[in-house]
Amino acid sequence: MQNLKNKKILFIICGGISAYKSLETIRLFKKENADIKTILTKSAKEFVTPLSIASLSQGRVYDDLFSIENETEMDHIALSRWADVIIVVPATANTISKLCSGSSEDLASSVVLASNKQIFLVPAMNVRMWEHKSTKENLKKLKNFGYKLIGPKIGDMACGEYGMGKMSDPTEILNEIKSFLNIISINKKMRALVTAGPTHEYIDSVRYISNKSSGKQGFELAKSLSKRGFNTTLISGPSNLEIDKEINLIKVETAEEMFKATQESLPVDIAIFSAAVADFKMINKKNDKIKKKNILNLSLEKNIDILNYVSNHNSMRPNLVVGFAAETKNLDKNAQIKLINKNCDWIIANDVSKKDRGFESDYNEVTIHYKNNLKNKEKISFRKKSEIAEEIVDKIVTHIN
């Protein structure tokens, strides 16, 4: 990427002695032709002034959540959507703690909480604060949420101590962001497809065969792919979940409808089949409601296997095909059998027999199996589905780049 022309960067400057470095950071970004807006926290104004920031950035500086002027021009939701990337610099121990708890007490934390864009934290603090267990736990949690860190590094501190916690140099921050946005630009040329949720296979006009899938994992995967720049299509079975407007949402009900929507969405570069498609459907669906007094004998036939079809579609096969295996026993064995039989590249297996994870839960635990290395499997431990989606997409980005 030659420069940052037409790239929108939102800086959030927090209160810390390293705040003065944000001035040089903004100067470098402006030299690269970035479009910059800035939020100053209350404590940050003790170290740098709105005037100095505005002079360097040539952009608007925001500092109060409840300012009528701010909310009229651009509210905190719109501000979070405006940015291509958000940089919190310096990210103090206090800021990290607030973000970890989901605080929204001021404009800075509200924008971060409302954002659907990548957020970079640039930590800067005393070495003892950096090494404190609470800071380590908070950072681990934020990284699982999808936040990315730039630094810190080892060096002399303003307090006179030496160690880890020194803020990264402005040039390092610039290079990290340019590298990230370059990958986003590459990803924008790629198309991703995700299927999610259950399907309904009707018995009569009111009854159907289905399962307990909520679609939550697929929706989170689509959100994460979109955030990384992929042109993302989500084909969803019946679900009340909401999705970002940047994602092309196709709603379907039956396996046949999902199959047709998948065919029409090809070709794509990446396909993730997380939907729990019903294996069977009625041979002859009744057009009217079947009365209870009648004896009900169901004649079923297999639904088309969408994953198998796409994995073996020679002319339209995506570069990366990822399937899901929802199992109740013999998790790894069944996942590897499915991986081989379906001819997909990855299988993501999860145990749906436990109530605290899987179909209807906000949490999950998965294991990724790879076709090109059957002996190698990677486990993503128990955590929120949004966090699992971030880690899976991280692996996808690394794989394709």
Which whole number is the average pLDDT over 24-41? Answer: 96
Q: Which of 152, 186, 220 is the last residue of a domain?
A: 186
Provide the residue range defining the domain that includes 311: 188-400
Residues 247 and 360 placed together within one structural domain of the fold = yes
Residues 334 and 208 placed together within one structural domain of the fold = yes
Specify if 3 maps to a domain.
no
Q: For residue range 95-114, what is the model confidence (pLDDT) as tens digits?
A: 999 999 888 888 999 999 98
Residues 276 and 317 placed together within one structural domain of the fold = yes
Bridge partners, residue 366, by sequence = 350, 380
Collapsing DSSP to helix, strand or coil, 2 comes out as coil
Residues 124 and 234 placed together within one structural domain of the fold = no
Specify if 248 maps to a domain.
yes
Collapsing DSSP to helix, strand or coil, 254 comes out as coil
Q: Which of 167, 186, 205 is the last residue of a domain?
A: 186
What's the CA gap between 6 and 8, in Å, rounded?
A: 6
Residues 275 and 175 placed together within one structural domain of the fold = no
Specify if 2 maps to a domain.
no
Q: Is the pLDDT of residue 186 over 70?
A: yes
- Average pLDDT value for the chain: 91
Which whole number is the average pLDDT over 266-290? Answer: 93
What CATH number did the domain enclosing 61 receive?
Answer: 3.40.50.1950
Is 100 assigned a catalytic role? no
Residues 216 and 130 placed together within one structural domain of the fold = no
Residues 133 and 250 placed together within one structural domain of the fold = no
Q: What is the pTM of this model?
A: 0.83
Residues 277 and 354 placed together within one structural domain of the fold = yes
The 3 state secondary structure assigned to 21-57 is HHHHHHHHHHHCCCEEEEEECCCHHHCCCHHHHHHHH
Query: pLDDT above 90 covers what percent of the chain?
Result: 74
pLDDT classification of 182: cutoffs 50, 70, 90: very high
Q: For residue range 349-373, what is the model confidence (pLDDT) as tens digits?
A: 999 888 788 788 999 999 999 998 8
Residues 226 and 93 placed together within one structural domain of the fold = no
Q: What is the pLDDT of residue 373?
A: 84
What CATH number did the domain enclosing 355 receive?
Answer: 3.40.50.10300
Specify if 290 maps to a domain.
yes
DSSP 198: B
Residues 123 and 258 placed together within one structural domain of the fold = no
Q: What is the pLDDT of residue 65?
A: 65
Q: Which residues of 159-181 are buried (b: 16+ CB within 10 A; e: fewer)?
A: eeeeebbbbbbbeebbebbbebb
Q: Which of 137, 152, 186 is the last residue of a domain?
A: 186
Specify if 41 maps to a domain.
yes
Catalytic residue from among 14, 100, 159, 344: 159
Residues 174 and 210 placed together within one structural domain of the fold = no
- Range with the poorest average pLDDT among 143-147, 237-241, 251-255, 341-345: 143-147
Contact 50, 63 (CB under 8 A): yes
Specify if 1 maps to a domain.
no
Q: Is the pLDDT of residue 72 over 60?
A: no
Residue 361 in tokens: 């839960």
CA distances from 83 to 6, 34, 40, 112 (A): 11, 11, 16, 11
Which whole number is the average pLDDT over 308-320? Answer: 92
Specify if 195 maps to a domain.
yes
Residues 62 and 143 placed together within one structural domain of the fold = yes
How many domains does one find in the chain?
A: 2
Q: Which helix (H) or strand (E) holds 129?
A: helix 127-131
